[in-house]
Amino acid sequence: MTARTLRTAILRHDLPGHRSHFDWLVEWSPPPVDSGATLVPTFRVDRRLDAAAPGTVLRATRIPDHRPLYLALTEVRVLDGGRGVVTPRRQGRVVGARRLGEGWRLDLAWEDAARPSLIEAMPVKGDEWRIRVLDSRST
């Protein structure tokens, strides 16, 4: 039996009133085998972490988990209830994951990227997290 590939994606979420942010979805551990409706941990960030240079620190807010269909979204989707529009920006795979206390160190292989991104995602307080982009060449 082979291990299930963990996925990650970045979506631009445009809200009514011209406000926008990015949603980062990441499967950082395999869901239970028998769970067909597993949700995906999701974070709101102001900037795309896939385009951030090593040394960048981003503030993130853990928001309600999203349905896995958003990991594979390939076209713009209008959300019901006046919640705006989401546009897929990038997809990838989690090629390495290691627990760091309550946080994670993740190797993310983005589509069309020359090399993986290495990040640390650490909780700060409540739903607030700190995401630090590391230099993947130095580890």
* In the predicted structure, residue 139 carries a pLDDT above the cut 90: no
Work out how many domains the chain is built from and give that number: 1
* 20-49 pLDDT per residue, tens: 999 999 997 766 555 556 889 999 999 999
In a domain, residue 72? The reply is yes
CB atoms within 10 A of CB 65: 12
How far is CA 63 from its chain centroid?
11
* 59-111 pLDDT per residue, tens: 999 999 998 899 999 999 999 888 899 999 999 999 999 999 999 999 999 99
Query: Is 61 within 8 Å of 127 (Cβ atoms)?
Result: yes
CB atoms within 10 A of CB 48: 14
pLDDT at residue number 1: 29
pLDDT band at 2 (very low <50, low <70, confident <90, very high): very low
In a domain, residue 1? The reply is no
pLDDT band at 112 (very low <50, low <70, confident <90, very high): confident
- List, in order, residues 6 or more apart from 93 with CB less than 8 Å away: 5, 6, 7, 8, 108, 109
DSSP letter, residue 66: E
In a domain, residue 123? The reply is yes
Going through 1-139 in order, the beta strands assigned E by DSSP cover: 6-15, 19-26, 40-45, 57-66, 77-78, 85-100, 103-110, 117-125, 128-134
In a domain, residue 78? The reply is yes
Q: In terms of residue numbers, what domain contains 12?
A: 6-138
CB atoms within 10 A of CB 36: 8
In a domain, residue 25? The reply is yes
